[in-house]
Amino acid sequence: MSARALAPALSSIALALAATGQAHATAGQWDSSVAGFSGTGASAATPWIASPATGSTYAEWNAIFSYPSDNTPDIGGVGTLTETTGSAFPTSGGNIYSISGASAFSLDLGTAAAGTWDVYLRVSTVGSAVADTAKLNGVSATRVTTFSQAITGGFGGTEEESLWKWTVTLSSPATWLTSFAASGAHMSLDQVAFYAVQTPAAAVPEPQTWALMLAGLGAMGALQRRRRA
């Protein structure tokens, strides 16, 4: 079968897979909430991070139509999501699907300032599961499954939502580069979200505070000496 003749067949397979998943959980929206964040997934227009912190990096794709790269997040700022193997294709439902092998993805979210950051990657998939390990600037993290629902009939598998977290300290500005992959063929990527938020730096006491602390320590020392006497 030629590549041109094969494409419609692949599209039909992917659409059948997506339709199967939608019978159990709604595509294009988060089906679970994550503690500590306000987005509930009530609709595709409800972002995972409803109020990103000032200075944070946030981007979310709920429908992925450009292939192999999509540089127009549905929610949030700028960023580029790229399928890196060339073995997948976009479906009419806004997913990226691969029948011939494990698809792999990268995220380029621009430059981050120096400091300590909590970084989150969230992914929704249908069919085969996403691989457990993802990387941020070469550092690995293991996913936590926040939603999982079996798909009956069709290709089987699951509809899942996965979350990875890193805490990193940057000594100088650096680019956020993230990568993740499918565990095998037949994974349909439904949604992706990336959130990096800087953690508050420890407060440095002002000179007046240091003076009060030293005075207090001196008073405590004098009291101890008096008690011994």
User: Which residues partner with 111 through β-bridges?
Assistant: 175
Which of 7-21, 33-47, 65-79, 176-190 shows the lowest per-residue confidence on average (mean pLDDT)? 7-21
Is residue 219 scored above 60 in pLDDT? no
More confident of the two residues 66 and 37: 66
**Which pLDDT score, from 0 to 100, does residue 209 have?**
53
The phi and psi torsions of 69 (rounded to 5 degrees) equal -120, 140
The phi and psi torsions of 27 (rounded to 5 degrees) equal -75, 155
The neighbour count for residue 21, using CB atoms within 10 Å, is 27
> Residues of the chain with pLDDT > 90: what percent?
55
What pLDDT digit, counting tens, does each position of 5-63 carry?
A: 333 333 333 333 333 333 346 777 888 878 677 777 777 778 888 889 999 999 999 99
The neighbour count for residue 88, using CB atoms within 10 Å, is 28
More confident of the two residues 129 and 150: 129
Identify the band that residue 155 occupies on the pLDDT scale cut at 50, 70 and 90. Answer: low
Is residue 67 scored above 80 in pLDDT? yes
Identify the band that residue 210 occupies on the pLDDT scale cut at 50, 70 and 90. Answer: very low
- The tokens describing 178, both together, are 């993230």
pLDDT (average), residues 150-162:
76
More confident of the two residues 200 and 150: 150
pLDDT (average), residues 152-164:
79
Query: Is the distance from CB of 53 to CB of 119 less than 8 angstroms?
Result: no
Does the pTM surpass 0.85? The reply is no
Element (H or E) spanning 82, and its range?
A: strand 80-83
**Which pLDDT score, from 0 to 100, does residue 16 have?**
38
More confident of the two residues 157 and 172: 172
